[in-house]
Chains A and B, each alone.
Chain A
Amino acid sequence: MSTTEALISRPPQLSSVPDGDLRDRGGPFQPMLIVSDLKKHFAIKGGMLNRTQGHVRAVDGVSFTVLKGETLGVVGESGCGKSTLARLLMHLIPYDGGEVLFDGEAIGGVRGLTMKEFRRAMQMVFQDSYSSLNPRLPVEESIAYGPRVHGMPAAKAKEIARELLTKVGLKPDLFAQRYPHELSGGQKQRVNIARALALEPRLLILDEAVSALDKSVEAQVLNLLRQLKRHFNLTYVFISHDLDVVQYISDRVLVMYLGEIVEIGPVDAIYDHPKHPYTRALLASRLSFDPAERVHEAPLTGDPPNPINPPSGCRFRTRCPMAESICAETSPRLEGAVAAEIHVAACHVQNPGSGHSLAGKAPVLVARSQPSPKVEAAPLAATA
């Protein structure tokens, strides 16, 4: 793969024209993933005859794009639908509405990619739980499973597995025959990454891939992910609840709340000038490392509302400091952000002409918490 080797020395910049990859079907500007109005409602059964009583609207009309070569971070609280979204994108669970286009092509169906081709193109790295690797298989065979299923002879698949182990930083002679219970958390996660890369995918979804690791190990794995991205010319969708990690690794960030996207934009724009009140509150609730700058009041109170019966109009209005009657009547729309630099939020305040009193006038709000007034150190009692 001479193209990719050439890419190692010159990582693709978002603003310059990227070189094409031989595996792509669309051109370099074709978004890797176009998601339109994706929905997933889980039925709740109960009562006497196990009838469907309601639906958990886990993912409710989500639209966004993922550009080639970028890392899209996805943040949100627990229960906002991030993991469900990951599984929907991977086609591990069927969706109830909407469409996903990979590299401009539909998945399954008569035209477009077959399931088998799709599986080779998009893979997922799971959170390192005790069950992310088969406890009965040596690590090498877990990695080789994917290629074998796609027709590769066993010996060649093993070779690929060993090569990948080297690339993720594990010596094959030491690690190939080990079982998962003989590996540390960081090592297991490297194996998970190797397994995902075994099929030479173009897009990797990382679902809380570093959340279960200690901080020092987390840093190593994040660095590994960056190196691998350059080496294999990958695109990442990085899902996490850890805002700092997302800031470190992402080019663009997408914020989810209760099954919907509330804000999307370049990472610096989001972290320095968040437009949506939820994003602002989320960022403000990060505890700072400076004792002089303590957070005194929780910026976000209460629990997210019930996803079975979300609030009418804007879902965040029950916790929003700027909520008005218009927020209960109409749901704010998020204009689709295709280009890399666009930064939009689904909020009436951002939309001039929406009917909100503050519409069009960006309110003066800060991303980080206010520094607390300095406390004078009490003078030490003089010791005689």
Chain B
Amino acid sequence: MTDFTTATRLLAAEEEAPATKVRGYWQNVGYRLRYDYVTLAFALVIVLIVALAVFAPWIAPKDPYKTSMAFRLRPVGFRDFHLGTDELGRDILSRLIHGGRMSLLMGVVPVVFATLIGGFLGVLAGFIGGKLNMAIMRTMDVFYAFPSILLAVAISGAMGGGMANGMVALTLVFIPPLCRIAETATTQVRGLDFVEAARASGGSTGSIIATHILGNVLGPIFIYASGLVSVSILIASGLSFLGLGVEPPHPDWGLMLSTLRQSIYVNPIVCALPGVMIFVTSLAFNMVSDGLRQAMDVRL
């Protein structure tokens, strides 16, 4: 082995430890995020909103379902109704806090399911290619032919409304774009040399996808999905606004906007409040998604 010890010694001498610390990919991402104050601020906002939703029963001052005919449409600061009351006398603040649960649920759950289903289909289509790819992508194209809101309204409207149907509709709406992102990313990665090397080593389809493809593809998919949550919240609230999502008497921001709208001349400020929540939540998810994209250095 004399040959090799010489070679190793020579090389070790010239190839010292690198100038910067050896850092993995995710540590790099974390490092970049640490100094991105805007993204961190909005991430905090999301945490707050989620916390409000989760701990709603303990945080909300009053019962969101308790009506009171005597105190309908009172303005902000009336007695202990800190943000006023709605058209049935219920405390707006409590309804806003509880409303977060429904709205977040309807916003996040469909995206999660759509990522699982759409991502799976997309990676499969991208990796196997050929006829399977064509079949899957052409089917997705048909759904792509509808603008998202229209599709969501159509499906949930046809199914008769309600929260469960709304979530199903939203999942179906988001599967095609996630599938497309997954397929594009997978096709790109599949053509790279190291995948060919993995095939040359005798790896099976499953093992190549798991070890080599997924790690490179999950980044773009995840970022796109996080951006979709913001859209999902908007559309979900829109469905509730139209009466197709959460049903009364449950509190939901979109639904509250719709019912309070009739009282716009009586108590305008109160009408706008639920929309503020929708806006802030959607904005927060958007900003965090954008920040993540920059940190992970992914170009969509």
Contacts and interface: CB of A to CB of B under 8 A. Distances in A.
Main secondary structure of the interface of B (DSSP, over half): helix
Contact of B7 (A131, A132, A227): A227
Nearest to B198: A145
A213 interface: no
Interface stretch (A120-128, A286-294, A316-324): A120-128
Which 9 pairs from chain A and chain B are nearest by CB?
A119-B202, A146-B201, A131-B192, A136-B215, A169-B11, A132-B193, A169-B7, A134-B194, A149-B203
Nearest to A126: B193
A178 B18 CA distance: 10
Interface of B: 1, 3-4, 7-8, 10-12, 15, 17-18, 22, 24-25, 192-194, 196-204, 207, 211-212, 215-216
A129 B193 CA distance: 8
26 contacts: A87-B196, A92-B200, A126-B196, A126-B197, A129-B193, A131-B192, A131-B194, A132-B193, A134-B194, A137-B211, A137-B215, A145-B198, A145-B211, A146-B202, A149-B204, A149-B207, A169-B11, A174-B15, A174-B17, A178-B18, A179-B22, A182-B18, A182-B22, A198-B201, A224-B7, A227-B4
A149 B211 CA distance: 10
A26 interface: no
A126 B199 CA distance: 13
A123 B201 contact: yes
Contacts of A184: 15
A8 interface: yes
Interface in A209-261: 224, 227, 230-231
A170 interface: yes
B216 A145 contact: no
Contact of A166 (B8, B10, B215, B216): B8
Interface in A127-178: 127, 129, 131-138, 142, 145-146, 149-150, 166-167, 169-171, 174, 177-178
A8 B3 contact: yes
B22 to A, nearest CB: 6
A142 B8 contact: no
A136 B25 contact: yes
A187 B215 contact: no
A171 B7 CA distance: 11
A290 B47 CA distance: 72
Given A146-B201, A169-B8, 20 more contacts: A92-B196, A115-B202, A127-B193, A132-B193, A133-B194, A136-B25, A149-B203, A166-B8, A167-B4, A169-B4, A169-B7, A169-B11, A170-B8, A174-B15, A182-B18, A192-B197, A195-B197, A195-B201, A199-B201, A199-B202
Contact of B201 (A8, A119, A137, A192): A119
Contacts of B7: 169, 224, 227
A371 B201 CA distance: 49
Interface residues of A, number: 46
A116 interface: yes
A198 B200 CA distance: 12
B201 A145 contact: yes
B232 to A, nearest CB: 28
**Which residue of B17, B25, B194, B198 has the most chain A CB atoms within 10 A of its CB atom?**
B194
Nearest to B214: A136
A171 B8 contact: yes
Contacts of A87: 196
A132 B15 contact: no
A335 to B, nearest CB: 32
Nearest to B11: A169
Nearest to B192: A131
B197 to A, nearest CB: 6
Given A134-B212, A174-B12, A177-B22, A150 B193 contact: no
A135 B198 CA distance: 14
A132 B196 CA distance: 9
Interface in A175-205: 177-179, 182, 184, 187, 192, 195, 198-199
A90 interface: yes
Given A131-B193, A170-B15, A149 B216 contact: no
A6 to B, nearest CB: 13
Contacts of B207: 149
Contacts of A231: 3-4
B69 to A, nearest CB: 62
A279 B20 CA distance: 48
A124 B3 CA distance: 24
Nearest to A180: B194
Contacts of B12: 171, 174
Contacts of B25: 135-136, 179
Contacts of A138: 24
A187 B202 contact: no
Given A169-B4, A224-B7, A119 B200 contact: yes
A127 B198 CA distance: 15
Contacts of B198: 145
Contacts of A149: 201-204, 207
A179 B24 contact: yes
A231 B192 CA distance: 31
